[in-house]
Amino acid sequence: MSIINNEVPNNKILLKRITVDPNDKEQIENFNKNFITNHVFNQKVEIILPIKKGANEEVEEDNNNESDKKSQQKPKAKGSLLSQASSSYLLVEGEFTSLFQEQSITPLPSSSNNKSLDGINTKQLYYQIETTLDLLLSHEFIDKYIKNGGFYAISQLNFIDSGNVVAFLPNSKIILNVDKETYQELGLLGKSSVFKNLQRYIITLDMTSKEYQRGSKSYTRLIWSLKDRLSSINLICFYQKLNSTQLQSIDFPQGVKVLPSYNQPTQEILNLRLPTLNIINENLNINNSNNDIKMIYNDFINEWVEVLGFASLGINLNQVKDFEIGNSLLSQCPIATKCLKATQKGLVSNSFILELIEKIKLMLSKGLIEYGVLNIYGFADTPISWNSIEHNFLYGGENDQSLLILPNNKFISSNLIGTYDYYC
């Protein structure tokens, strides 16, 4: 794996190149861990797939007779090519429809949630809740959802640079990033922030620790502190059992205000100017031993991220604007390509992202797309980013990733991180 660190105004871009052997279980697990599952909280995921025209639309049977083979070698009529192109779009779009299908559910009463959501499609279900933290730390809730792992929750409507933020991690830990005044009021043991020493503090609670066993003095003190000295907070959350790909319903304690929600999907076919696979490979496979290679790579990284930004916004720029924009990569792709663009926004699970990667790899193996782009957006006010490293906010709270999925199991990861973040 090669890594290139590119400094840009107010943030950093890290480019990582990796090849994964699909038959090597250890390589696959390391890729999933290092590139996907170590980023816990995702508020939006987006795919952009440049569709090949009429690719692999005909399947030859082994028992075709000679006359059939000769007929297949004859030039196809224009109408046949058009129908092949349409078929490619339909195949790609149809493959992802079930993953980006809008759902609707009837909200549960805000004051009680003893009803089960069994029988409802919970694949993209998450919960918006309002509660005090002590309610989520009842022993019943800890034993059922937190201690065994798989409970994800992150605070909303609070800001990491000026308020108090909370995250429940799937490894049974709880992270509180609080201001100095709140830290002193809580009286819980923590450490000063890496970024704002003596102004903000990080409190980490491991709910598997003997320290917080039922009836212990530490647990009693914790509940008392959270109940009386920390106001109610808004969180979004879901529960996913370890080694499961499905999200599970949650029975919250009495007093928690609950609103079940689904991620909001979009799916459309757009004409977008994106570089071809050949152009991308030319920029990635430059062999140069002198220092100029760093400048070449930096230019490619910046221009690639800019092109992705236009595509993400659904902008198909007119060629007249090329000189004004000054993006040489964009100028190399004058003809727009039909692309599938689909998004999910809310609280997106990593299992859903891994499923998307497998779908994209399947489309590549069938020759239906040139390559796949998977954009993952984190929360600006999350207390952690990659590998549970402390996250903070300066001009922006970026902790985003763009994964370029190429044929032959090659991946290019572009990570956009904020100025204050020091690891990705």
- In tens, the pLDDT along 302-314 reads 888 888 988 999 8
Q: What is the pLDDT of residues 280-325, one digit of tens each?
A: 888 877 655 566 666 777 788 888 888 898 899 988 777 656 656 7
Would you state the structure tokens that stand for residue 314, as one six-digit string?
């659904």
Domain boundaries, the chain: 2-55+79-100+265-418, 125-262
Return the structure tokens found at 145: 């959802």
| 263-283 tens-digit pLDDT | 999 999 999 999 999 988 888
Minimum mean pLDDT range among 20-34, 42-56, 92-106, 166-180: 92-106
Residues 376 and 353: beta-carbon distance below 8 Å: yes
Predicted confidence at residue 80, as pLDDT, reads: 46
pLDDT of residue 123: 65
Lowest mean pLDDT among 156-170, 238-252, 382-396: 382-396
pLDDT for residue 34? 86
Residue that is written with structure tokens 């861990």 in the block: 33
User: Can you give the pLDDT at residue 133?
Assistant: 95
- With bands split at pLDDT 50, 70 and 90, how would you rate the model's confidence at 179? very high
Give me the pLDDT at residue 322, please.
Answer: 61
Task: Work out the mean pLDDT of the chain and round it to a whole number.
Answer: 81
Please classify residue 221 by burial: count the beta carbons closer than 10 Å to its beta carbon, then call 0-12 exposed, 13-18 middle and 19+ buried: middle
Instruction: Give the pLDDT band (50/70/90) at residue 422.
Output: low
Give the model's pLDDT for residue 320.
58
On whether the pTM is more than 0.75, the answer is yes
Res 327 pLDDT > 70 = yes
C-beta of residue 360 within 8 angstroms of C-beta of residue 50: no
User: Phi/psi of residue 388, each to 5°?
Assistant: 60, 25
